Structure 1
């Protein structure tokens, strides 16, 4: 028994993107599937019967291999000692072996397989490899290019003449070339690769790549499904794809990411790009499931007077949030907190001012902290310059006790996170600056950098670093930089440290358990300082969980400082109700 396999010509066809179409399953198709399943079951039974009579592989011997180690070549065949040997297995083994050689640059490798009977019902498999010369690209020829220069196409392919042939590198280059066409309005571009042998003795190959660029494609219609409350115009503003726009695969991906990150939808199904009325038109269809966008959080308590003659206090926290008012995407947030300190805050966001891609943010807050009272009103305009870049500018008015001042504020952000509420990859870099002059005078700057990397499966490594500085001749107490608590240094009291300069960092190892949920372990470090000195760096560590429930998001964090016992750890708990 002997088989020989030789590969000197390969043809590959790549077409992207693959258009998604819908079909209706009929009774006929179900009958066909049933027939196919029956045939497959019969073939499986027959193959098992054949395998039952097939000889068993006693030993696998590989000769002639040097570019691949003998063990690697044997493993590449997929054959195993003790398994049944059939002609089909032998043919598949040769294909796998030659593919492994092609991946290592030996495109002209050849191999033969033979068997020696071994009593009573076994065989010894003999594989002889003729590796040939390492293959190189003698010539690269491109045809069919009209919209792209030959030099640009070659750069995307990443293949150079007189260099070793690398099938994986060429495959990646073909994908880059296809993506370039898809991003320039030609998703139906077809790329065909033909490989021929120029000089077999020297291992030279000729690569012939033919490009059928196809027609330029436009969006004929943009449709959305699954909304009960949200207005279609809001989705169109978020997705930023309009009928008549030229097709671009990047815009399709960015649109889905924006829909996911809007906070309005519990899920956004993979976007369908359907064929339109002709080859030059497609239909964009997004299917969404709306989220509960109204949330309420409330905790109330009573604190009797600690000193005779002072009034009792109602303590607690009440917060209400609506992120999709009447289906328009407008947001409102109100918060009241009372305890040792008292805070009131109201914020409103108009996502598309006058129908433009500009958001208007307005905020008012009042705070009493250790006898100092501060009120502030701020408004800003937020532009999204690109899918990952945004900037904002605004004005503010601040009053502290008997003094007041006015000023400006600005920020810029670079955000590539895949899903902002619970990211698994991407970065966020944000810088903020504001200044106030008048009866009170101060300037503040803060930079925040975060990075997320998927480690394995649902495991995510998250890191964060912040640096902040505030300076001025009359800084209100509430405008100082604080450290300690759930947001900056877990394991310490809220606002335990304060200063005019602050540096913090944290690392979390997360395990995602749901769309918005994850459990994690963390380590925090931070330091604050002012003109009078610096607080030694502080460290906190612990565990936590963000858990999504029908009633809302439950946030739990337990932190401890190194010098404390576990019983002295700090617990930070937030319970939110979704309406």
Structure 2
């Protein structure tokens, strides 16, 4: 075949393909002409628009519609969310946000039932103050281990910007702090020293979120702490730290991390990785000197339908921690063991929970949970005289005679079990849960009930 014939065939093929190529050119995404909010009885339309994060003049894709719906559900303000659009002209659309408010406030009793901590109280919470998604809660509780009054305010949408977050909280507390005989194999851990500690604190935090995933925050806390003499009926009566006038503890905490978590009704999805550093010294207005370092991992995975795997791991370490700032494990933080049974200046922990639906009696949902809690607690090193002092020579921690430092003396404990969770879809009601846990080390079963929030 001659070269001229080849060229002619090629030209014919190109002419046949040209119309098809032109037909495959996609139309540009429509542009939002206006954003219309329908349905809310309390939430202000500008609040709904702010959480949508898409406004007039922005292009709209199908992916955007799904993202907006998830953002609105994740606020916790609405029991139903529908996102759609309708054309207003060539290449222009009207974005429609249709929502149904939850009942935003609640007055409810609170309960706590853990080993060595039993009590209850009352809670008032408003989840949508002034229709602008501001949150306020106040609670009073009396229990065997801790009693107090708590009040807190959270603005997750500061100045109408979901990227900015501000919180303010304060509390008055009276704690009965028990220290136990070392060891994880005790069925009934023995209290060695019992100290009453009274405190008052106020804290404020300012945070920001970039690109819906990078989160940073700074928190300042101011506390007055007053320790009483130990209970003379227990084995150790040496004061846990120097008695006298109330002491001032102030700290500055900085945090940065990645946070893509969203609570979609009863299911938590997304990843949270964060690092934190907390400093207390006279430079920030404190009578104490200590530091705390932390790494936190949280991950929620939706498996099948409403099944949810929630993972949590944490590594924290402190330097020269006074007694009231030490790390603790036991109770809801390590199920299967006594409330605050273990203490130290270094802690590793990992929790895995598998949540699954049981049945629903509209609008109440019953969900089961299977869990495993693992913790490692230790003192890295202890002073030879068993007393930690600050720069002024004041004792800020008197350790128990049997306390040991180093990796060889670390406490390793694990608890496994199952529980029940209750959720209300149409009202802002705190989580109600009950757990039965088996302490692998001690062979003991323990039960835990938490309803509402408490001052801790």
Does the residue aligned with 2:281 lie in a helix, a strand or coil? strand
- Write the distance in 1 (CA, Å) between the matches of 2:371 and 2:160: 42
1:536 and 1:564, CA in 2 relative to 1: closer, same or farther beyond 3 A?
closer
**One of 364, 369, 374 as aligned partner of 1:525:** 374
In structure 1, what is the equivalent of residue 128 of structure 2?
324
**One of 536, 551, 556 as aligned partner of 2:411:** 536
Deviation at 1:490, TM superposition (A): 0.8
**One of 226, 230, 236 as aligned partner of 2:39:** 226
Deviation at 1:251, TM superposition (A): 4.1
**One of 489, 500, 506 as aligned partner of 2:351:** 506
**One of 289, 308, 316 as aligned partner of 1:460:** 308
Does the residue aligned with 2:27 lie in a helix, a strand or coil? coil
- Write the distance in 2 (CA, Å) between the matches of 1:573 and 1:322: 23
In structure 1, what is the equivalent of residue 208 of structure 2?
383
| 1:572 and 2:448 aligned | yes
Deviation at 1:400, TM superposition (A): 2.3
| 1:297 and 2:108 aligned | yes
**One of 80, 95, 107 as aligned partner of 1:284:** 95
- Write the distance in 2 (CA, Å) between the matches of 1:254 and 1:516: 25
- Write the distance in 1 (CA, Å) between the matches of 2:375 and 2:214: 28
Structure with the higher helix share, 1 or 2:
1
Deviation at 1:368, TM superposition (A): 2.8
**One of 172, 175, 178 as aligned partner of 1:366:** 172
4+ runs deviating over 6 angstroms? none
| 1:479 and 2:354 aligned | no
| 1:246 and 2:51 aligned | no
1:392-430: per-residue Cα shift (whole Å, max 9, x none)?
123222332322143322223423335355336432223
1:229-281: per-residue Cα shift (whole Å, max 9, x none)?
11111111111222222335554333222211111112223x11222x22221
| 1:496 and 2:341 aligned | yes
**One of 529, 546, 552 as aligned partner of 2:421:** 546
Deviation at 1:210, TM superposition (A): 5.5
Which aligned pairs between 1:195-214 and structure 2 lie closer than 5 A?
211-214=24-27
Gaps of 5+ in 1: 1-138, 145-191, 195-207, 302-313
Are the counterparts in 1 of residues 111 and 451 from structure 2 also a CA contact under 8 Å?
no
Are the counterparts in 2 of residues 238 and 258 from structure 1 also a CA contact under 8 Å?
yes
For normalisation by structure 1, the TM-score amounts to 0.56
Which aligned pairs between 1:294-443 and structure 2 lie closer than 5 A?
294-299=105-110, 316-338=120-142, 339-356=144-161, 357-369=163-175, 370-401=195-226, 402-419=246-263, 422-423=266-267, 425-438=269-282, 439-443=287-291
- Write the distance in 2 (CA, Å) between the matches of 1:556 and 1:225: 38
For normalisation by structure 2, the TM-score amounts to 0.70
In structure 2, what is the equivalent of residue 557 of structure 1?
435
- Write the distance in 1 (CA, Å) between the matches of 2:279 and 2:264: 29
1:386 and 1:235, CA in 2 relative to 1: closer, same or farther beyond 3 A?
same
- Write the distance in 2 (CA, Å) between the matches of 1:450 and 1:372: 32
Structure with the higher strand share, 1 or 2:
2
Gaps of 5+ in 2: 1-12, 113-117, 176-194, 227-245, 382-403
- Write the distance in 1 (CA, Å) between the matches of 2:28 and 2:300: 39
